[in-house]
Amino acid sequence: MHDPIPTVTLPSGISVPALGQGTWNMGEKASSAKEEIASLKAGLDLGMTLIDTAEMYGEGGAEEIVGKAIEGRRDEVFLVSKVYPHNASSKGTIQACERSLKRMKTDRIDLYLLHWRGEYPLAETVAAFESLRAAGKIGAWGVSNFDLDDMEELLAIPNGANVAANQVLYNLGRRGIEYDLLPWCQERKIPIMAYSPIEQGRLAHHPDLIHIAKTYQATPAQVALAFLLERDGVIAIPKTSNAQRVAENREAVSLDITDEDWATLDAAFPPPPRKKPLEML
């Protein structure tokens, strides 16, 4: 028996698992497709039913992998994808969404994000998102790589307050958002999706994490994920193309780290003493 995965409630009232699955680097090599599809399916079987992808990943290749992984089980899945900033015009957003739907062989994306800020005015992209929502092609929309000033600007434009999530770089070694963006979003019940939660695999080799993990008979990646699962309104989306690692990451929800060990981790990975501009990978 597995411990249940904690959930995060979106502004719409829909609950999603706080531990989902990323897909960056998937769909790039035909020889890896079988493994990638199998790992996503294994994650679904274990309750990691939020899948994060983007038109950028593998230039559509990752969305095709996702389409294959969710075939026959679309209703179990909370599907997140992203539009490139250079496509995020009134027409371009709609067309990009249609292409993503086709690649994933579905008729709706549950959460559609602006991947990062680009040349088009935010109001134009938001209006396009709202029309996709009215047409039932997306369930909700959000943003990615938005710092606090971007969020404030967004909330001031028409319908900007309908933002359903902000996906940003957040992990033990990148705690900058704890100074301002995270509490600001938490107060407004806007979930943070933490990308690169294992720092693209690098935290799995960090000596301090290896040391703490050993005392729990856990792995460093599990400790890195437990750190995020501990926080309100945060959804972690680790990526792996290895079904065994999917199971390992899933078990992070059962790690019960003591206050003393959290303090040790705080000393090794200090929270920010002042504002730090949002980092991106």
Ligand X SMILES: NC(=O)c1ccc[n+]([C@@H]2O[C@H](COP(=O)([O-])OP(=O)(O)OC[C@H]3O[C@@H](n4cnc5c(N)ncnc54)[C@H](OP(=O)(O)O)[C@@H]3O)[C@@H](O)[C@H]2O)c1
Site string for ligand X, 38-57 (x = CB under 6 A): --------------x-----
Nearest of 242, 248, 247 to residue 38 by alpha carbon:
242
Report the alpha-carbon distance of residue 46 to residue 1 in Å, rounded.
10
| Residue 158 vs 249, nearer CB to ligand X | 249
Is residue 221 part of the contact set for ligand X (CB under 6 A)?
Answer: yes
Report the alpha-carbon distance of residue 45 to residue 280 in Å, rounded.
31
**The length of the chain, given as a count of residues:** 281
Burial label, 83 (beta-carbon count in 10 A; 0-12, 13-18, 19+): buried
Report the alpha-carbon distance of residue 40 to residue 69 in Å, rounded.
6
| Residue 92 vs 197, nearer CB to ligand X | 197
Give least dist CB 210 to ligand X, A.
Answer: 11
Is residue 81 part of the contact set for ligand X (CB under 6 A)?
Answer: no
Q: Bridge partners of 228?
A: none
Site for ligand X (CB under 6 A): how many residues? 28
**Main-chain phi, psi angles of 71, to 5 degrees:** -55, 125
| Residue 200 vs 264, nearer CB to ligand X | 200
Give least dist CB 34 to ligand X, A.
Answer: 14
Cβ contact 145:171 at 8 Å: no
Restricting to residues 234-273, name those near ligand X by CB under 6 A.
237-242, 245, 248-249
DSSP 21: B
Which residues are tagged catalytic?
Answer: 57
| Residue 132 vs 235, nearer CB to ligand X | 235
| Residue 80 vs 134, nearer CB to ligand X | 80
Instruction: Give how far Cα 260 sits from Cα of 7, 189, 208, 257, 267, Å.
Output: 26, 29, 14, 8, 11
Site string for ligand X, 146-185 (x = CB under 6 A): ---------------------x------------------
Listed ranges 5-13, 83-91, 157-165, 197-205: which one lies at the site for ligand X (CB under 6 A)? 197-205
E-only strand ranges, 165-264: 166-169, 192-195, 234-236
Is residue 228 part of the contact set for ligand X (CB under 6 A)?
Answer: no
Restricting to residues 86-115, name those near ligand X by CB under 6 A.
115
Is residue 200 part of the contact set for ligand X (CB under 6 A)?
Answer: yes
SS3 at position 268 = helix
DSSP 144: E
Is residue 58 part of the contact set for ligand X (CB under 6 A)?
Answer: no
Report the alpha-carbon distance of residue 91 to residue 120 in Å, rounded.
11
Amino acid at 86: H
| Residue 103 vs 115, nearer CB to ligand X | 115
Per CB under 6 A, the list member of 114, 198, 212, 228 interacting with ligand X is 198
Per CB under 6 A, the list member of 17, 58, 197, 233 interacting with ligand X is 197
Binding site for ligand X (CB under 6 A): 22-24, 52, 115, 144-145, 167, 195-201, 204, 219, 221, 237-242, 245, 248-249, 281
